[in-house]
Amino acid sequence: MEEVPFITETEAKRIKDHAERDIVLLAIRAGYHVSHGPSVRCYPPVPGKNGEPKIVTGTDYLFTDPDNGMENIVEVTTGNGHSPSKLAQRRVVDQAGIENYHLLGISERTTLQRVLSPRDLLLLFREILK
């Protein structure tokens, strides 16, 4: 299997989407290894945001816990995740049987930004991603 390169702090600072940039920088500060997320495929197809059949969706990031190697697929949103496209993405993930998928919205980002210690940040990420 090909090794996926981790996103560095310098690369994370160049992420254009502010919500994604904030979450990735916080995860790196907590000690997570962050890489670009995998594509998720499902069968049978599920309804997409406009009702068309959808079988594949891209995800934002893959967070790997530095201590236990646990991987979590993370999707970042600026809102609460109830947009038609995020709901369609969630249907694909559910149909594919992915259990380690997490959508981090504004409330999670705000909570994470209040934590000062990298160790406390890691513990809070683990709580959110369980």
User: Contact 117/80 with Cβ under 8 angstroms?
Assistant: no
User: Using 50, 70 and 90 to split pLDDT, how confident is the model at 55?
Assistant: very high
Tell me the domains of the chain and their CATH numbers: 9-114 (3.40.1350)
Question: Which residue, 23, 35, 104, 102, is CA-closest to 63?
Answer: 35
pLDDT tens per residue across span 91-129: 999 999 999 999 999 999 999 999 999 999 999 999 999
Put simply, whether the predicted model's pTM sits higher than 0.95 gets the answer: no
92 token code pair: 């694909």
